């Protein structure tokens, strides 16, 4: 009985679809025109030149155009400066990303614990996002300079003067700037996730006598785990963009541990080495594709578990 009714409904729908399809198709085509300006621009400035870069990466030079397989990639890979830049970038990420995730989750949990003046605090935590880094590098220099404020404070405690920006501590200084700038954004993502935790399982567990810690780890954390993964990968991607902060703080020639991939690229732009530039861009593109792939995988794999 039920089945047959479904069948007739299906048939009815199909008939309507056929009737609409002419008009529908026209609407579909017309709505495609809306994509035209954007697609044209993206083609011109990103996709077409990107294809040319792929071509450049496999030839010996733009004039001779002789196919050299992976020589350019091998050259870049064996380049000392590229190696150093890649290592520095990765070691920065390894330090910055876990802190960015954990601290922003802590901030979100504090704000979601119904503390007074919650929205005021949210404004404070989010404000660094809107302050141009260029405006506050002065303060960073004043604090972390060899003769700076931090050393002046630590001096009386018996700590020797440290040149924060020109020593192994330089990563720490940049991490602080990175966290200052990015925690607010991550916090908002986490707050949205915490607000979406359904009430019923939490209530059920607390009736069953589960303590707050137990509820947090067994229920809440499980519901926000997709967001944690998402924020982690997003922070990883953002940590590759930290060149901006490093440049504003230390200029063209930073201390060697702060020599990042973008510094390497900038130098290569100046030398007009098309092959090196293209091969390096493609190597980074490949690495990013893997990371973005992980992001998509994480979302399709774990995002569904909790979405209703």
Partner 1 sequence: MTDNINAAMRKRRRIHIAKIALLTLWAGVFAVLFLMPTVLTISNSFMSSTEITANYGSIFAVGQAGGRQFISERVNLKFIPDMVTFKQYITVLLKSPDYLFKFWNAVILTLPIMLLQVAVAAVASYGFARYSGKFRTFLFFSYIMMMLMPSQVTLVPNWLVSKWLGIIDTRWAVVLPGIFSPFSVFILTKSMKRVPKNIIEAARLDGANEWQIFTRVCIPSCKGALYSVLILVFIDYWNMVEQVLVLLTNPDKQPLSIFLSRINAGEISLAFAVATIYMVPPLLLFLHGEEQLVEGITYSGGLKS
Contact 111, 191 (CB under 8 A): yes
The verdict on 240 binding partner 1 (CB under 8 A) reads yes
CA distance 190 to 188: 5
Give the shortest CB-243-to-partner 1 separation in angstroms.
6
Among 68, 126, 162, 172, binds partner 1 (CB under 8 A): 126
Q: Which is nearer to partner 1, 1 or 195 (CB)?
A: 195
The verdict on 285 binding partner 1 (CB under 8 A) reads yes
The verdict on 158 binding partner 1 (CB under 8 A) reads no
Give the shortest CB-3-to-partner 1 separation in angstroms.
28
The verdict on 248 binding partner 1 (CB under 8 A) reads yes
How far is it between the farthest Cα atoms of the chain? Answer: 88
Q: Extract the tokens encoding 251.
A: 């200029």
The verdict on 64 binding partner 1 (CB under 8 A) reads no
Q: Give the torsion sign (CA, 75, 78, 83, 84).
A: negative
The verdict on 218 binding partner 1 (CB under 8 A) reads no
Give the shortest CB-113-to-partner 1 separation in angstroms.
5
Alpha helices in the chain (DSSP H): 2-33, 36-42, 48-57, 71-78, 80-112, 118-130, 133-144, 149-154, 170-195, 199-207, 212-215, 221-239, 243-250, 261-271, 274-306
Q: Extract the tokens encoding 302.
A: 């774990």
Q: Which is nearer to partner 1, 57 or 219 (CB)?
A: 57
The verdict on 94 binding partner 1 (CB under 8 A) reads no
The verdict on 149 binding partner 1 (CB under 8 A) reads yes
The verdict on 129 binding partner 1 (CB under 8 A) reads yes
The verdict on 63 binding partner 1 (CB under 8 A) reads no
Between the alpha carbon of residue 67 and those of residues 39, 58, 72, 132, 279, the distances in Å are 31, 6, 10, 45, 14
Which residues within the stretch 29-48 sit at the binding site for partner 1 (CB under 8 A)? 30-35, 37-39, 41-42, 44-48
Q: Extract the tokens encoding 303.
A: 């995002």
The verdict on 249 binding partner 1 (CB under 8 A) reads yes
Give the shortest CB-226-to-partner 1 separation in angstroms.
9
The verdict on 97 binding partner 1 (CB under 8 A) reads no
Give the shortest CB-300-to-partner 1 separation in angstroms.
8
Q: Which is nearer to partner 1, 2 or 304 (CB)?
A: 304
CA distance 102 to 224: 13
Residue 59 sits at φ, ψ, to 5 deg, of: -115, 165
């Amino acid at each position: 009985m039920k089945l047959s009714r479904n069948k007739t409904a299906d048939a009815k729908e199909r008939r309507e679809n056929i009737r609409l399809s002419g008009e529908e198709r026209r609407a579909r085509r017309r709505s495609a025109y809306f994509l035209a300006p954007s697609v044209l621009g993206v083609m011109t400035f990103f996709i077409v030149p990107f294809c040319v870069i792929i071509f450049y990466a496999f030839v010996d030079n733009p004039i001779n155009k002789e196919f050299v397989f992976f020589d350019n990639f091998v050259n870049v890979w064996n380049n000392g400066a590229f190696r150093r830049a890649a290592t520095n970038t990765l070691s920065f990420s390894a330090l910055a990303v876990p802190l960015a995730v954990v601290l922003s989750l802590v901030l979100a949990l504090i704000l979601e614990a119904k503390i007074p003046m919650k929205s005021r605090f949210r404004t404070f935590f989010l404000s660094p996002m809107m302050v141009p880094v260029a405006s506050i590098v002065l303060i960073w220099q004043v604090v972390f300079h060899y003769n700076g404020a931090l050393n002046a404070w630590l001096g009386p405690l018996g700590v020797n003067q440290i040149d924060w920006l020109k020593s192994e501590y330089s990563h720490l200084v940049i991490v602080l700037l990175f966290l200052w700038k990015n925690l607010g954004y991550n916090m908002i993502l986490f707050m949205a996730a915490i607000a979406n935790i359904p009430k019923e399982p939490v209530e059920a567990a607390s009736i069953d006598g589960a303590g707050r810690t137990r509820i947090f780890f067994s229920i809440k954390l499980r519901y926000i785990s997709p967001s944690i993964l998402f924020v982690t990968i997003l922070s990883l991607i953002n940590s590759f963009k930290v060149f901006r902060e490093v440049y504003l703080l230390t200029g063209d020639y930073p201390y060697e541990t702060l020599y990042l991939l973008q510094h390497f690229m900038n130098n290569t732009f100046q030398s007009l080495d098309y092959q090196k530039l293209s091969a390096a861009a493609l190597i980074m593109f490949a690495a990013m594709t893997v990371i973005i792939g992980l992001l998509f995988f994480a979302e399709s794999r774990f995002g569904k578990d909790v979405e209703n």
